[in-house]
Structure 1
Amino acid sequence: MSTQATPQTQKASSSWDFTTIKKMRWFFIALIVIAGVINYLDRSTLSIGNSTIAEELSLTTVQMGLLLSAFSWPYALANLPAGYLIDKFGVKKMFLVAAVGWSIVAVGTAFANTFLALYIARVLLGIAESPFFAAGLKASQMWFSKRERSLPVSIVNTGSQIGNALAPPLLTFLLLGFGWRWMFAIVGVAGLIIAAVWWFSYRDPKPEEDALIHNEIGDDLVTESANETEKASWFSLLATPNTWFMIIGAFGIFYTVWVYLTWLPRYLEESRGFSLSTTGWVAALPFMCGIAGVLLGGVVSKKFIDGGMKAITARKIPIVGGAILAAIAVAPVAYIENTTLNILLLCIGYFAAQIPIACIWTLASDIAEPHQVASLGAIQNFGGFLGAAVAPIATGYILEVTGTFNWVFILAGLLLLIGAFSYGVLVKDRREASLQVTA
């Protein structure tokens, strides 16, 4: 005698399945966060070893500026195909390729003995790390509904901030205890471990799980056309005004972030007189504040959405507000003689500059069609890392010409305001009303 499932048993099964999905997807987010921590430790190794490496290899300030930007140029350019490749080949494969690639490069950097060798290693690191955030965004898109997505995207972005906060004390400890070469090698091995865990644990949601993810919480999802030929191409994004305004906005915000990431330790040593060991702890303070900034941006955005605000508007408010506050704090930093107040402004500036970060990524998922989410996110990240590439070079030249950090922070403040204007005024929801989705 066959037994048919009743609505009650189906509902119970659905509830159990969704509980399992919740546990699984948060495990994946945790894994991406840990990978993000290691990812940013890799990026920070050169800035932490800045003075030590420059002295050992007899590098000038301009050469160090070029090295500190060598990661960002290829990273920015590689973001363009990275997003497309993630949309085409999937998160699991591309994330694995990225993690293994950046880890091998990090270990290899330990053997560099010349400016050219270091430069090539940083270029390869930038290429290898380019799929990371777009992959995190794509995974969040698949495992979370639009209504929920700002929180996991914010949490994914805290990985970078945790890495930034850990980098000064942890990498300084490794630098002082084992030397700069072992510092690179140890971080690289950690990346290989997380890559192995990812490969054996991550998977995309099954069709029935996908339905539960969106239907369980009443997600008003725009579905992709069944006719694959009707999908907009990757190049169509470049014909959209929003894409270019997002590139400009990301450039302005990321520029300032990378002034911190690449030159803050040296600023604290040379302009504020901190020792190398003390700099490791003091430099961690702004980055610790950055963790709170990223989470605040996601929480505020979600609160606005829960209150009925349109998704795009809810993302733009933290982006614009954070960028303006950061500009106000950063611009006068070098003119403040009181060390305590100086560090406080540095902390406020970085905290505020991180408020937009998660919202920037989530904004890409709100504006793009489902099959173009990683692509638009990566193109936007390309713009951001053009700013990241310019920041260390411009800082190196400003220091070479003026001998002070005054114009370094003034320029950072101006670019933050340009970023706020681009996102706040120029980026708009240009889709037809019938295709709008309120998250």
Structure 2
Amino acid sequence: MGSFLIPERRRWFIVSIIFLAIVFNYFDRQIVSILKPILKKEFDLDDKGYAIILNIFTICYALMYPVTGWLVDRFGAKLTMFWGIIAWSVASIGGGISRTFGQFTFFRGMLGMAEPTNFPAQLRVVTIWFPGKMRATANSLCVAGSSIGAIIAPPLVAWLAISYNWQTVFIVAGVVGVLIALLWILVYRDPPESITMESAGVENINETQAFTWGQLWTRRSLWGILLIRFVSDPVWYFCLFWLPGYLQEESGLTLVQMGMFGWIPFLVADLGAIGTSAWSDSLVRKGYDPLKARKIMLSSVAVLAPLCVLTPYLPNAAMTIFIFSVVAIACLSWLFTVSVVIAESFPVKNAASVLGIAGGFGALGAVLFNYFVGQFMGTLGAEKIFIVMAFLHPLAVLVLWTMVKQEKPGKSEQLTVDG
């Protein structure tokens, strides 16, 4: 027990709990995409109706994300994350006991409002517990839970739905979430001064220095981060929300086959994104400026994303899974490391707020893209949708290099924690 209390070991245990929380965060949101054919039949929906379910979740997610970032900076990661997990667990159970389309969409909206708490809290924890040379790796191990959740979702959702019923899937997910919340509140502590000083790095940035909320909006880098998330997030949301249904409805996979093979792109993405994050940390250890190291890595993997344009022309589901496995590496590398870019670019007291605002803009981009896909998948054809997707990450690269830099408050802009 004594060795566990050593801060250098405690921080990795904290990372493990965050990882577990994010696993079930993403498991909860993946349930709908895997059960898409069943839910469409249950509630008598077409693709437009299914898009409404997605957008109720995503709009609430987008609106709440900036609020949760402020909550983390104001009240800390411990309480914000605890109550967030409790709320999304209740929402998941509510989805399982819903009997009408209105009830179901209400609880999906509640899920969308609760789930953003995880990521600003996670970034805050990584920023204060880890120095720059370890930050991207620690961050990627936390956020890897997103794709692990997507990996375990197809087989577990399929098994529960086939063995019991679709309602059971939501209820089991909610119960597990409550257990994770209890584990978090028992284990998490803020770091001691020795860890805080190490995390500040050689620049020894005063942790009390920060921009005010209004000053943040005058920073060019904030607008760059918002644009990056707005244009790049929709590709990952497509992988989460539309790819499982696409594999069943367009590529001919059954629910059982989806459970057997639908996890593959997310496993490949996870391993690839952890590897690219470790690579960017290795560049920092070799002497590269941390922010420049992240930019180099993100630019290198962005060339993979346009491969999605090949999807409508692939001969079978195996090739579709292969192409999206490669595309998903780019998506997840960006999702992991843009958070680290925020931590490198803004004062520690602003990081969660910036991530919250950026996450809201990313979800807004996904809302618009979900609407576009829902309206035009059957009319314009998948080809044009994938052409649009192919340009999004290259555009994000352009924004990254031209708009994002390290932002430091001037003497007239400094805000203390108490101010």
TM-score normalized by the length of structure 1: 0.88
Aligned to 2:398: 421
Q: Percent identity?
A: 27
Q: State the 1:17 CA deviation.
A: 8.9
Corresponding residue for residue 3 of structure 1: none
Tell me the SS of whatever aligns to 1:371.
helix
Match of 1:367 in 2: 345
Partner of 1:221: 204
Paired letter, 2:60: P
1:177 aligns with 2:163: yes
Q: What amino acid does structure 2 have at the position aligned with 1:222?
A: I
Checking the alignment, whether the CA contact within 8 Å between 2:281 and 2:293 is kept in structure 1 is yes
Offset of residue 59 of structure 1: 1.1
Matches within 5 A, 1:275-294: 275-294=254-273
May I ask how many residue pairs the two structures share in their alignment?
Answer: 411
Match of 2:385 in 1: 408
Question: What are the within-5 Å matches in structure 2 for residues 182-197 of structure 1?
Answer: 182-197=168-183
Question: Does residue 317 of structure 1 match 2:299?
Answer: no
Q: Does 1:232 align with 2:218?
A: no
Answering whether residue 116 of structure 2 is matched by residue 137 of structure 1, we say: no
* Equivalence for 2:358: 380
2:324 maps to amino acid: L
Matches within 5 A, 1:263-342: 263-327=242-306, 329-342=307-320
Distance 2:54 2:244 in 1: 13
Q: Is the 8 A contact 1:87 1:374 kept in 2?
A: yes
Amino acid at match of 2:186: F
Structure 2 distance, partners of 1:318, 1:353, is 13
Instruction: Please list every run of 5 or more consecutive structure 1 residues that lacks an aligned counterpart in the other structure.
Output: 1-15, 435-439
Shift of 1:152: 0.7
In the other structure, the counterpart of 2:417 is none
Contact 2:219–2:407 (8 Å) recurs in 1: no
Note the 1:29-68 alignment, pairs <5 A. 29-68=15-54
Pairing partner for 1:391 from 369, 379, 382 = 369
TM-superposed CA distance for 1:231, in Å, is 4.1
Distance of 1:26 and 1:169 partners within structure 2: 28
CA distance in 2, matches of 1:315, 1:189: 37
Q: C-alpha distance in 1, partners of 2:343/2:199? A: 15
Gaps of 5+ in 2: 412-419
Instruction: Choose the corresponding residue for 1:110, options 72, 79, 96.
Output: 96
Inter-partner Cα distance in structure 2 for 1:18 and 1:28:
11
Structure 1 residue corresponding to 2:326, chosen from 336, 348, 355: 348
- Partners of 1:241 and 1:260 lie apart in 2 by 30
Maintained 8 Å contact 1:32/1:136: yes
Return the alpha-carbon distance in structure 1 between the equivalents of residues 407 and 10 of structure 2. Answer: 35
Q: Which has the larger radius of gyration?
A: 1
Mark the CA change 1:192 to 1:432 in structure 2 (over 3 Å): closer, same or farther.
Answer: closer
CA contact (8 A) 2:128 2:348 kept: no
Q: TM-score, normalised by structure 2?
A: 0.93
Q: Distance in 2 between matches of 1:338 and 1:103?
A: 37
Letter in 2 for 1:233: T
User: Which deviates further from its counterpart, 281-290 or 329-338?
Assistant: 329-338
Counterpart of 1:58, as a letter, is D
Query: What letter corresponds to residue 184 of structure 1 in structure 2?
Result: F
Deviation at 1:390, TM superposition (A): 2.5
Is this contact kept in 1: 2:3–2:9, CA < 8 A? Answer: no
Rounded to whole Å, the distance in 1 between the matches of 2:242 and 2:194 is 49
C-alpha contact 1:161 1:290 (8 A) present in aligned 2:
yes
Using the TM superposition, give the Cα deviation of residue 269 of structure 1 relative to its aligned residue in structure 2, in angstroms.
Answer: 1.1
- Write the mapping of 1:8-19 to structure 2, written as runs, cut at 5 A: none
Counterpart-to-counterpart distance in 2, 1:387 and 1:289: 25
Deviation at 1:248, TM superposition (A): 1.1
How big is the shift at 1:208? 4.9
2:102 aligned partner, one-letter code: L
The answer for the alignment partner of 1:13 in structure 2 is none
Cα deviation for residue 344 of structure 1 reads 1.5
Q: CA deviation at 1:330?
A: 0.8
Change (3 A) 1:360 1:102: same
For the residues of structure 1 that align with 2:6 and 2:202, how far apart are their CA atoms? 19
CA distance in 2, matches of 1:323, 1:197: 37
- Which residue of 201, 207, 220 maps to 1:241? 220
In structure 2, C-alpha distance between the alignment counterparts of 1:270 and 1:111, rounded to whole Å: 27
Secondary structure at 2:391 match in 1: helix
Other-structure match for 1:8:
none
Q: Residues 268 and 329 of structure 2 are in contact (CA less than 8 Å); yes or no, is this contact kept in structure 1? A: yes
1:75-86 correspondence to structure 2 within 5 Å: 75-86=61-72
1:148 Cα offset (Å): 1.8
Aligned equivalent of 1:124: 110
Is 1:262 aligned with 2:241? yes
Deviations 1:323-372 (A, max 9, x none): 23112x11121122254333221111112221222210011111111211
For 1:282 and 1:232, locate their aligned partners in 2 and report how far apart those are by CA, in whole Å: 47
